[in-house]
Structure 1
Amino acid sequence: MKNVSTREPGLHKGVLYAMLAAALFGASTPFAKVFVGQVAPVSLAGVLYLGSGVGLLACFLVRALVQRGQVGQPVALTKPDLPWLAGAIAAGGVAGPVLLMVGLSMMPASSASLLLNMEGVLTAMLAWFVCKENFDRRIFIGMLLIVAAGALLSWEQVPVLGVPWGAFAILGACLCWAIDNNLTRKVSASDPLQIAMVKGLVAGIVNIAIALAFGYALPGAGTALAAGAVGFCGYGLSLVMFVLALRHLGTARTGAYFSAAPFVGAAISLIMLAEAPGATFWIAAALMGGGIWLHLTESHGHEHEHEAMEHLHAHSHDGHHQHEHDFEWDGSEPHAHPHQHVPQRHAHPHYPDIHHRHRH
């Protein structure tokens, strides 16, 4: 048995990506609310997604020009990735927003906000029990604390749901986004900028088409540009960070950290409104902090076996990537090429990343 340490010193970069994703998405929520009274919800969803896709397309083209001819190009989406990505877009970029708009039309916004916190729970449930991603009691309790904090921040009144069709629609939207998160993990080794760009463009075009089909007006140029900028940061850049986190942490842990987004949004809302936070805010902050601490201090390590496999992603020659090259290599890292992993057994701390999705 060979002991290999692959844990980076300090805060794991996957955690940083997940927290950045949560911060960007959470910060966008108060700004997006500014447009709610001006633009129909379906039209607004389309403009936010399209702003995300167009902004990332510009970044994608600039990067291609800057990096032309350089070694270590990002790994483009491949043909086997397309069914997973198409499913993620259909579930999270099309069905999810439509179900959300249906639910919002049938129930109070405060009740809908409370139910939206089910996305993190359903994401983790699918990851743990369908995709067989590992977890332990510590991670489970941390997840519960984070979700409870988000629920507290959303609670403004005792929900009165009446006939539960609206609630079913909101829960359906959460399930769609949970499916989206788990399907996106399947392609997380590919270029995250390209993944987020395609999702934004397709979801934006489809949602705008739905809005036009139902007779909703599109916003004026100024409003569209402002909403598009919010979408670029809160949906586009946030999704790039989310995909990177999926690559390094797995779905459930990324979803748990991303559940911190309501706290970021609430904090920014308080600053924008110049309000003093009440007791609920500080209780939620304590729960959120406790849940994140449980995740940050996780140490999961045991003897495990890597089966032989071949795949393609950007990598450096660490303990999991000791292979020969059948081409001339100048030693620059990270680089990307199809490579084989030979069977090996070793022990070290690890997350359920793209190399550690083994059974326990």
Structure 2
Amino acid sequence: MHQGVLFALLAAALFGASTPFAKLLVGQVSPVMLAGLLYLGSGLGLSLWYALRHRIQQGIRQGSPRAQASDGALNKADLPWLAAAILCGGVGGPVLLMLGLSLTPASSASLLLNMEGVLTAGLAWFVFKENFDRRIALGMLLIVLAGVLLSWQQVPEFGVPWGPLAILAACLCWAIDNNLTRRISASDAVQITAIKGMVAGLVNLALALLLGASVPGFTSIGAAALIGFCGYGVSLVLFVLALRHLGSARTGAYFSVAPFIGAAISLLVLHDTVGGLFWLATGLMALGIWLHLTESHQHQHTHEETEHAHSHRHAPHDPHHQHQHDFEWDGREPHNHPHRHLPISHSHAHYPDIHHRHGH
């Protein structure tokens, strides 16, 4: 299995499992306070991870300091993209999701989160110009139809389905976040996610306190922090790595398995009751995801000369990383340093990763 696909599926599993468990806390903690605790748990946990990893690498590092094993740190050019991503995905998204969860059964809410992948792909295709074909478009159409069915299921006799609409708005926030984060995905995924978690967590906590929310007990705080670290922290690290290898649209498509995991846990743990529309929507979403999983994209394409830095290996089957080093290299793989890609034209199966963002 392609490592980008594996990263996306693992990210989906962790995030999908977090939704029903966060639902358990909705009645105990205000939505905005819960969003802050989830992200703060992610930020604190990953900050400790980042510091520990840095300390270990300093202790065992040998050879040239110019070729490191970890990814490169963020630079000044990355900061505007990161700030905009935090505003959309770290502040707007979680608050809207918590509000939606308070009005929507967790099983249906979990499946509605598939719309994040659809909206991510739409922005990637039509705003950021990632490539797509009819197979991918059909898969997304099926997922959209499933989302419409789930939203229709929640429409009361009179009025507006505010719960599903809030969840869809959260998905749009995260779709914008995903496409902005793609622009900086070659940088250190742990650093990116730790900063997101800390800033988003503190902003949401401050907002919750200003709105008069009460601070929950230590048990609820600990549970929210743990859910946030796994479902928002580690999951997002894996998601950023998937963005690096797959691009925004494909990562969003593979990530669409997350709601199925969340729905399964909701049915088993929370004993949600579902009707025929739920199962029909599940079948449509499964078919749409299958179309994405079985995609193959190959054609003759040309790479222009470029220079960047990211963790890489000098594998014989990888024509993109056969460069020479202008410093003494100890042969350690993987390693990270600024390197130049010379122009090359060839044909092979590929995704719109950091080396294949060409036009068609």
TM range (shorter): 0.7 to 0.9
CA contact (8 A) 2:309 2:337 kept: yes
Code of the residue aligned with 1:322 in structure 2: it is: Q
Q: Which residue of 2 aligns with 1:348?
A: 348
Q: 1:269-302: CA deviations, max 9, x gaps?
A: 2222468986555544433432232222211111
The answer for unaligned runs of 5 or more in structure 2 is 63-67
Q: 1:212-250: CA deviations, max 9, x gaps?
A: 111111211121011110111111111011101111111
1:334 positional shift: 1.2
1:96 positional shift: 2.9
CA RMSD of aligned residues (A): 2.7
Q: Which residue of 2 aligns with 1:4?
A: none
Mean Cα displacement is larger for which, 199-208 or 161-170? 161-170
CA contact (8 A) 1:307 1:342 kept: yes
Code of the residue aligned with 2:41 in structure 1: it is: G
Code of the residue aligned with 1:109 in structure 2: it is: T
SS of structure 1 residue aligned to 2:187: coil
Code of the residue aligned with 1:307 in structure 2: it is: E
Q: Does 1:214 align with 2:211?
A: yes
1:175 positional shift: 2.6
Alpha carbons of structure 1 residues 357 and 308: separation in structure 2 relative to 1, 3 Å: same
1:100 positional shift: 5.0
CA contact (8 A) 2:115 2:147 kept: no
Seq. identity, %: 68
Q: Which residue of 2 aligns with 1:321?
A: 321
1:322 positional shift: 1.6
CA contact (8 A) 2:40 2:228 kept: yes
Q: Which residue of 1 aligns with 2:65?
A: none
Code of the residue aligned with 2:347 in structure 1: it is: A
Count, aligned residues: 348
Q: Does 1:14 align with 2:4?
A: yes
Code of the residue aligned with 2:48 in structure 1: it is: A
Q: Which residue of 2 aligns with 1:176?
A: 173
1:57 positional shift: 1.2
CA contact (8 A) 2:256 2:289 kept: no
Code of the residue aligned with 2:35 in structure 1: it is: A
SS of structure 1 residue aligned to 2:336: strand
Q: Which residue of 1 aligns with 2:13?
A: 23
**What does 1:88-237 correspond to in 2, within 5 Å?**
88-99=85-96, 108-109=103-104, 113=109, 117-149=114-146, 156-159=153-156, 162=159, 171-237=168-234
**What does 1:305-316 correspond to in 2, within 5 Å?**
305-316=302-313
SS of structure 2 residue aligned to 1:187: coil
Alpha carbons of structure 1 residues 266 and 187: separation in structure 2 relative to 1, 3 Å: same
1:256 positional shift: 1.4
Mean Cα displacement is larger for which, 238-247 or 114-123? 114-123
Partner Cα distance (1:161, 1:338) in 2: 60
Partner Cα distance (1:252, 1:164) in 2: 28
Alpha carbons of structure 1 residues 65 and 325: separation in structure 2 relative to 1, 3 Å: same
The answer for unaligned runs of 5 or more in structure 1 is 1-10
Q: 1:6-39: CA deviations, max 9, x gaps?
A: xxxxx21111111111111110111111111111
CA contact (8 A) 2:104 2:163 kept: no
Q: Which residue of 2 aligns with 1:7?
A: none
SS of structure 2 residue aligned to 1:34: helix
Alpha carbons of structure 1 residues 169 and 31: separation in structure 2 relative to 1, 3 Å: closer
Q: Does 1:290 align with 2:287?
A: yes
Partner Cα distance (1:151, 1:63) in 2: 44
1:145 positional shift: 2.9
Code of the residue aligned with 1:62 in structure 2: it is: L
Code of the residue aligned with 2:44 in structure 1: it is: V
| TM-score, scaled relative to structure 1 | 0.88
Partner Cα distance (2:292, 2:248) in 1: 13
Partner Cα distance (2:39, 2:15) in 1: 13
Code of the residue aligned with 1:200 in structure 2: it is: G
Partner Cα distance (1:45, 1:347) in 2: 45
CA contact (8 A) 2:189 2:241 kept: yes
Alpha carbons of structure 1 residues 238 and 148: separation in structure 2 relative to 1, 3 Å: farther
CA contact (8 A) 1:123 1:251 kept: yes
| TM-score, scaled relative to structure 2 | 0.88
**What does 1:24-63 correspond to in 2, within 5 Å?**
24-63=14-53
Partner Cα distance (2:19, 2:164) in 1: 21
1:153 positional shift: 6.0
CA contact (8 A) 1:42 1:208 kept: yes
1:183 positional shift: 0.2
